[in-house]
Chain A
Amino acid sequence: MKNPHLPPQLATAMRQAVVLEYWNLFWSGTIILAMGLVLGQSQTMKTAWIEDTLGLVPPIMFLISAQVEQRGRGSKRFPFGFHRVNSLGFFVAAVALATVGGVLLCDAAIALLAAEHPTVASVVLFGHEVWLGWLMIAAQVYSLIPPMIIGRKELPLAETLNDKLLHTDALMNKANWLTGAAGLFGVIGLGSGWWWADSLAAGIISLDIINDGIKALRSSTAELIDGAPRALSSPELSDDALALRRRVQSEFPEADVRLRETGRLIHVEVHGVHSPLENRHPGHYWPSGDERSWRVAQVSFVPPADKKNSEDPSAQ
């Protein structure tokens, strides 16, 4: 299907990303099922299970926004189209992560302070008695594998598409080994008689969830309130945008150059000067090469407010 908003050179990467996110949902579903079957009373397992369930939010939001981005054309009610659906999805994912991370951290702290001793009993499996902890460890080890592979595949696609939602998902997946290791420590510690290991591991995992959430929240909020374009992996200003700003500023030194981001695209406003006489494609202003010049969606010029002090180029 032809995408009215997506630059044509990104169509292949977008298709691959959509397929990968469907696989992500499938494998995450198997992990959630496996972890859910062996939760027991362990706070670690509960926290890891909720984290895995929350991990569905970014891929679901990515698929929804990709769908809307593909089908949604501008209308009377939405004349600028749906470029920002991706940003909205990113914001929703960030709020979910930060909130649930906070709740889980409170849970873990209360369990630790109350010195709760979690029970991990036995189950009968095919006529054999098995300590549930072994099944928890198996589920935790399994939960490490698919995200690691998917995260590695997502990262280059997120960079090609300059997609923050996909990038957040890739980083969350890649970092999953850390929470998996914390989860294993929790269950093994519990089996070793260290009752506190379970709550401590749950606390570490929730801190990681909060960290992911806050980083994503800072970036997504900046975009939604027309902040300058942020880097993919941090709330810092993006190198691309800084270079673009320098490039435009060098051509219009007296102008006030403002950049904002809608989804993966950058809009440039050049205040205080008239537009050049010749027609230029927005990509003309891209500082280096043509490969990523699709990121410049629009360059608008806002003439000086005081006409007496400005020189109208059309009068020349």
Chain B
Amino acid sequence: MTGLVLLCGCDGFPRDPGETSQRVVREKAFRVAFVAPEISGEAPVSRLIRQLEKATGARSEVVPGSGEALLARLQSGEVDVVVGRFQAGSPWASEISMGPALSASGAPENRLELKAAMRNGENRWIMQVERASRVVGGGEVR
């Protein structure tokens, strides 16, 4: 058992079942989309994209589209990150993985959080985006 745990300690753990991280490294590109077009120009979003590019050594490719159709494309693996404003109780919360908030707006009961969403289960890639989001959101970690 100890051996098994040590074996997992090797680099590359956790791995993505859909190989998102591996593909980003191989193709030196990741696909990003925005739930609403105006989001792309916001400062925290630009910083997130730059941070991701810096961390992965890959360039971002913007995928056109908007709204919930993008989240469906995220689930099928056609998009790697979707950035948008989500409510705390969003029905998508269990369908996709959301990173830490980049910024927040609105009253506490209707609070909207600007955050990145990733495909469920792509744990290494999710960690990568979470790390970048924390840096942008102000909670830099080691």
Contacts and interface: CB of A to CB of B under 8 A. Distances in A.
Nearest to A138: B5
Given A119-B126, A124-B134, 7 more contacts: A117-B18, A121-B127, A124-B141, A128-B142, A133-B14, A137-B8, A192-B14
Contact of B123 (A116, A124, A133, A181): A133
Interface string B1-26: 10011001000011111110000000
Contacts of A133: 14, 123
A124 B139 contact: yes
A187 B52 CA distance: 27
Interface string B122-142: 110011001100100001011
A191 B126 CA distance: 12
A195 interface: yes
B65 interface: no
Contacts of A41: 120
Given A116-B120, A117-B121, A192 B127 contact: no
A129 B1 contact: no
A231 to B, nearest CB: 32
28 contacts: A116-B120, A117-B17, A117-B120, A118-B121, A119-B97, A119-B120, A119-B123, A120-B123, A121-B97, A121-B123, A122-B131, A127-B141, A128-B141, A129-B130, A129-B142, A131-B14, A131-B123, A133-B123, A181-B1, A184-B1, A184-B4, A184-B5, A188-B4, A191-B13, A191-B123, A192-B13, A193-B15, A193-B19
A194 interface: yes
A137 B13 contact: no
Contacts of B134: 124, 129
Q: Which applies to chain B's interface (DSSP): helix, strand, loop or mixed?
A: loop
A201 interface: no
Interchain residue pairs A-B with the least CB separation, the first 4? A117-B121, A193-B15, A191-B14, A195-B17
Given A116-B120, A192-B13, A193-B17, A122 B5 contact: no
A195 B121 contact: yes
Interface of B: 1, 4-5, 8, 13-19, 97, 119-123, 126-127, 130-131, 134, 139, 141-142
A228 B121 CA distance: 52
A117 to B, nearest CB: 2
A128 B127 CA distance: 13
Given A116-B120, A119-B120, A131 B5 contact: no
Nearest to A120: B123
A192 B19 CA distance: 11
Given A193-B15, A193-B17, A129 B123 contact: no
A116 B15 CA distance: 16
A290 B119 CA distance: 69
Interface in A106-154: 116-122, 124, 127-129, 131, 133, 137, 141
B14 A190 contact: yes
Nearest to B7: A188
A191 B8 contact: yes
Nearest to B9: A134
Report, as a range, how many residues of chain A touch the other chain.
Answer: 20 to 34
Contacts of B120: 41, 116-119
A202 B18 CA distance: 21
Contacts of A119: 97, 120-123, 126
Given A119-B120, A184-B1, A193 B130 contact: no
A184 B141 CA distance: 27
A139 B39 CA distance: 40
Contacts of B131: 122, 129
A112 B18 CA distance: 16
A127 B142 contact: yes
Contacts of B122: 117, 119
A183 to B, nearest CB: 11
A120 B123 CA distance: 6
Interface centre among A124, A137, A184 (most CB of B within 10 A): A124
A132 to B, nearest CB: 9
A93 to B, nearest CB: 29
Contacts of A192: 8, 13-15
Interface in A188-215: 188, 190-195
